Amino acid sequence: EDWDPCPEPLPESPQPDLRRDGGVFVIPRELNQSTIVMAEPGGVRRAPVDPYFASRIANSILGASGFTSRLVERVRTEEGLAYSVSSLWTAPDESEGIVGAITRTRSDATLAAIRVVLEVLEEMRREAPSRAEVRTAVDEIVNGFVFNFQDPGQVVSRRLFYLAEGLPRDWLERYLEGIQGVRPRDVHRVVSREVDPSRMTILVVGDTARFEAPLESLGFGPARVIEVEAATPPPAPRR
């Protein structure tokens, strides 16, 4: 039996105000490692259209697929600059998403790691991926999708989520079909349109005294310091 929808309209969610220009920000912390997060606005929305499906494959190739991704291959395997690195490419329904990457590296390799990530982003923007890369990404997404539906609870949860998000009832089928239809030119088209390393907002949490060079040498202008108060520790449990 179907449930009646809520008669009261939900209030509109506030839209985030995203930076449009590149820049470098730093939160000073006396740490042995730097945490690096970089991102820029992305215009891809979650919908049954080619750019969305191509962006999922692009994200997998870039850094979301683990050891087979370009970021892991370059930053970790070739350069030895980080143990973990990944990309992020969000695609909300009603607002802009973000495209970027996250990694952690030793303090004296902070700028080197940032530069390698920016290089990988530029390479993705400049040239289409190989057919083998696209096929690997498609297979990983399609083959891993089945694990989202291993029991009835997962099936119901997914269906309710898609219904609440206003997606078509046949979204699951259309999603898999769309992913399987992505070609290298589709990936290149969406990356060249949505990714511009010069527009990245870069946030570094780390010890600036240990960086191998000033953050200004990255070419994004003066590094702006963000002062963040230390978190208040939770009260001790009563005995």
- Three-state SS string across 100-135, please? EEEEEEEHHHHHHHHHHHHHHHHHHHHCCCCHHHHH
Return the higher-pLDDT residue of 180 and 167: 180
In a domain, 65, yes or no: yes
Which residues contact residue 3 at a Cβ distance below 8 angstroms, ignoring those fewer than 6 apart?
none
Of the pLDDT bands very low, low, confident and very high (cuts 50, 70, 90), residue 230 is low
Query: Could you tell me the residue range of the domain that residue 139 belongs to?
Result: 32-195
In a domain, 215, yes or no: no
In a domain, 53, yes or no: yes
- Looking at residues 202-209, what average pLDDT do you find? 98
In a domain, 50, yes or no: yes
Which residues contact residue 22 at a Cβ distance below 8 angstroms, ignoring those fewer than 6 apart?
40, 198, 199, 200, 201, 202, 220, 221
Query: Within 10 A of 237 (CB to CB), how many other CB atoms are there?
Result: 5
In a domain, 14, yes or no: no
CATH value at residue 175? 3.30.830.10
Query: Which helix or strand (DSSP H or E) is residue 26 part of?
Result: strand 23-28
User: From CA 153, how far away is CA 140, in angstroms rounded?
Assistant: 23
In a domain, 71, yes or no: yes
Return the higher-pLDDT residue of 198 and 145: 198
Query: Which helix or strand (DSSP H or E) is residue 55 part of?
Result: helix 50-59
pLDDT tens-place string over residues 85-120: 999 999 988 788 999 999 999 999 999 999 999 999
- Looking at residues 56-83, what average pLDDT do you find? 95
As for how many domains the chain has, the answer is 1
Task: Answer whether residue 74 shows pLDDT above 60.
Answer: yes
Q: What's the alpha-carbon Rg for the chain, to the nearest Å?
A: 20
Task: Answer whether residue 231 shows pLDDT above 70.
Answer: no
- What is the DSSP pairing of strand 23-28 with strand 224-225? parallel
Task: Answer whether residue 176 shows pLDDT above 90.
Answer: yes
In a domain, 133, yes or no: yes
pTM of the model: 0.87
User: From CA 237, how far away is CA 36, in angstroms rounded?
Assistant: 34
In a domain, 154, yes or no: yes
Could you identify the residue written with the tokens 């990530």? Answer: 117
User: From CA 94, how far away is CA 73, in angstroms rounded?
Assistant: 34
